[in-house]
Amino acid sequence: MVESVRELIKAHADVRKEVYLDIENSAPVPEEVVNEMLPYFNKKAYGNPTLTHKLGWEAYETIILSAKKVGEHIGVESPEEINFTPGETEANNLAILGTCMSRRNNGRKVVISEIEPLSIINVCKMLENYGFKVEKVQVDKEGFIKIEKLKEKVDKNTVLASFSLVNNEIGTVQPIKEVFETVKDINSNTIFHIDLSDSYGRISFDVKKIPVELATLSSYKILGPRGVGALYVKEGLKIERILEGQIGTQKLWPGIENTPAIVGFAKASELAFENFEDNVNNMRKLRDRLIEGILNNIEETILNGPRENRSPDNVNISFLKCEGESLTIELSLKGVYVSSGSACTRRVLQPSHVLTAIGRKYEEAHGSILMKVTRYHSMEDIEYVLKVLPEAVNRLRTIYGSMGG
């Protein structure tokens, strides 16, 4: 296995330019973030933040200040409302399991959409084993939640509603204010959880304007370090821990806090919201050029998700008569790095649940490519992608045709 991987890496020896668009799976960490983290490994604040000595106090202060920096961009006023976790998956699990376990005598229904990320869908499957009923709200062909269907799902037994502001695969920006108000109008006691992992740093959201009780944030999706995320828990809301162990500054997540990663998350947040409007507008221009360049120059292509009300970084295209995994390899040999289908399901021979939910056929879903731009990309990067992409698609379609496809 290792030898075959080494051979694949050797095949890239002639790559002269690289464009990394696989932000959905992982991301390069900017030098400013790395430099901010480095001292916390061995020079300062490396103590356990629960201990009463100088390095412990420094670590405690560092975590509180980092929580303030991360939370202030979504309107959080108290740093104690930000709970750091090892990532967005853990934050989503904590939000859903913690809420349902603490309110299991108040109702046994959870409402989500059918295109939520697997960190929400799979934990809801687990809840069904404990007697909870999970209702999935249908979406339209662009991934927008059908409000009338939502009204049918929420009732007096609904303990939790969980929705993403932006879909991680197709970039659909939900009308979240309408979704929130619809749920609360039917049952004001329903706890509302929003996953902001794919919107934080790209689309404004304020917990004071839309007073959700829970919100998930991701570090690596704003080019911070992996291994850290956060869950906003509204002051006064009681949810249960889902793990037990040594309790530190994070009362809902046991264990010694990863101070360097938390510091990196805070720095990445600062950079993501610095010159926010300019950064978002630039991402939108790059996104639109990439979408238009593909749809106008490569035949038999389909944009997945909406043209309007789309996340400024998201491009998801299906290439007919072209298998997505093969296309990722072809592009990789040209120095362009993308992902095929959902990041969480790409090694499973099943089409993306998001793409099938919006009506894509099996072959359309399997030919999909997901690309995400950042503030660090340039128009030169996009033009390079548009240069090599048609060559890769044509080569694979020629092979497909020769096989009688």
User: Hey, which residues are catalytic here?
Assistant: 344
Per-residue burial over 291-310, b = 16 or more CB atoms within 10 Å of its CB, e = otherwise: bebbeeebeebebbbbeeeb
Crossing angle between the packed helical segments 118-128 and 88-102, to the nearest 10 degrees = 30
3-state SS track over 129-155: CCCCEEEEECECCCCCECHHHHHHHCC
DSSP state at residue 96: H
Q: Bridge-partner residues for 301, per DSSP? A: 319
Q: Which residues contact 403 (CB under 8 A, 6 or more apart)?
A: none
CA distance 236 to 255: 23
Please report, in angstroms and rounded to a whole number, the separation of the first and last CA atoms in the chain: 31
**Residue 4, CA atoms < 13 Å, CB-side half-sphere:** 1
Measured CA to CA, the distance from residue 392 to residue 280 in angstroms comes to 29
Nearest to 203 by CA among 194, 193, 190: 194
Q: Count Cβ atoms within 10 A of the Cβ of residue 323 and give its class: 0-12 exposed, 13-18 middle, 19 or more buried.
A: middle
Cα 45 from Cα 261, distance rounded (Å): 12
